[in-house]
Structure 1
């Protein structure tokens, strides 16, 4: 079972802080969802508009894990279903006194390695013995990826309208269009024209370099 999916509880710094949960059977599929959020604002009287980009949401993914208490995958050793569920909960939802919350998780399955948190889990019992005790179950779990704050800030800064941008004018470019691409609002084109000392902003010369300063400085 060394290549089976692992769920490792870790601290905010990524240090293991508990007993990992090792899947008895690898999942048949991993469903990964990515959402891009837009502002669908539409001016009164218009039939539609180009939605403004807001952010890329954190990825979410779902897993379905089968747990078995018959010993079929553990060389005849029967590990009770309640014990296996308790191990899953200890790794994913147990409150950690040091951080006063459930641990962050590191889910690893082959090359799929994600730092995340558990959103929810559902246990479905699918087989019982003659005494009514569960001997097989499925755990359906959903997770949200956690991206390091430093990395997230760097990515955001690279496309932030609060930084100075430099663009080379291409044939057919117009100043309002370029301003809209940078600030998502073409109303700043007069300020940009003034910063670049453009005598005629309606006619841009291809190859000209334009500076788009931070919005706060305009």
Structure 2
């Protein structure tokens, strides 16, 4: 309530992590942007395999997969002194200290006309190094967590395009816009939790109950009754008519 009365705005933040565990204790940095974006573009993609019979005039689209979400933001960098600078904090930080926010709000938007403005080059380099930082141990770039209002995405940076627009007398930039495209990502554990575990395209491990029949178990797994011999071979079964209660059986994916 105090922050709202003082006109303090919640800034979009980017949390930077070394891996897809997104362990808060391992967070490298939190970036609070200089100016909240005025728009963003969110893209969803469904990918198909295109098949077309010889002589046909149209295609038969077969579902392949749903691609990850993509989002694009424009980030402003300005070192003229007209607007407060961006903030980069170590570790995971959900909100800037109230005192820092007050300083930003109350700071006069007047710069000394006789003083040369700083260049945005160093600030941009730090921003780029955090988002694109390469980990020599994992051979991976950074994992990111975008948070702004109700928007949230775990992602990685796909591309960054920088446009410079205002310059000092020596030609060095004091204003730039970085257009960044991010692609959503999930850890293997999250994918396992969300995927349909009944799918015949993944391996299943099942424990035999007292009333279970082998052929019926195979039919329930694959929605067909023709794979039970292959499953018997995969499990090294000489006979599938006599199963032991508590026995573990592997039902491999359909190839």
> TM over 0.5: same fold?
yes
The normalised TM-score by structure 1 is 0.68
Distance between the aligned counterparts of 1:114 and 1:120, measured in 2? 16
Change (3 A) 1:3 1:216: closer
Structure 2 residue 148 is matched with structure 1 residue 109? yes
Contact 2:18–2:28 (CA<8 Å) still a contact in 1? no
CA shift for structure 1 position 95: 1.9
Counterpart in the other structure of 2:126: 87
CA shift for structure 1 position 2: 6.3
Distance between the aligned counterparts of 2:146 and 2:14, measured in 1? 5
Contact 1:7–1:91 (CA<8 Å) still a contact in 2? no
- Number of residue pairs matched by the alignment: 174
CA shift for structure 1 position 79: 5.8
Structure 2 residue 10 is matched with structure 1 residue 3? yes
Give the unaligned 5+ runs of structure 1: 165-182, 193-213
CA shift for structure 1 position 162: 4.5
Counterpart in the other structure of 2:81: 71
CA shift for structure 1 position 156: 3.3
Give the unaligned 5+ runs of structure 2: 1-7, 85-106, 112-116, 205-221, 228-250
Contact 1:37–1:53 (CA<8 Å) still a contact in 2? yes
Please state whether the residue corresponding to 2:144 is helix, strand or coil: strand
CA RMSD of aligned residues (A): 3.0
Distance between the aligned counterparts of 1:92 and 1:120, measured in 2? 10
Counterpart in the other structure of 2:68: 58
Counterpart in the other structure of 2:175: 136
Contact 1:20–1:91 (CA<8 Å) still a contact in 2? no
CA displacement 1:162-199 (0-9 Å, x = unmatched): 589xxxxxxxxxxxxxxxxxx9xxxx98969xxxxxxx
Structure 2 residue 37 is matched with structure 1 residue 14? no
CA shift for structure 1 position 150: 2.4
Distance between the aligned counterparts of 2:186 and 2:31, measured in 1? 22
Counterpart in the other structure of 1:121: 160
